[in-house]
Amino acid sequence: MDGIDKRNRLDEKPFSYKISKDNTVFIEFHGKRVKILKGKEADKFLKRIEETENDKEQQLILAKITGNFKRGNERKK
């Protein structure tokens, strides 16, 4: 995983997620909802999250799923 997060932005834990009763996953970036996963996509995501060993791996998965968060020009608010 070296070289992926060169500026250590994922150490700040900018991403979070919440799971609803019907297994819908809401992904947030600094508290702002950016993606919703349902059905098979949500199940696949939850399986990947369970397999992670640490918070940084979880943050990387969340960043990759959101898609357009790798350009370095994201604003915090």
Structure tokens at 57: 């791996």
> In order along the chain (77 residues), what is the average pLDDT of each group of 10 residues?
71 92 95 95 96 92 80 59
Q: Measured between alpha carbons, how far is 38 from 19 in angstroms, rounded to an integer?
A: 10
Instruction: Please identify which residue in the block is written with the tokens 């991403």.
Output: 15
Q: What are phi and psi of 31, to 5 degrees?
A: 85, -5
Q: Taking the domains of the chain in order of start, what are their residue ranges?
A: 9-66
Instruction: Give pTM, 2 decimals.
Output: 0.79
Residue 57, H or E segment: helix 55-66
The pLDDT value given to residue 20: 96
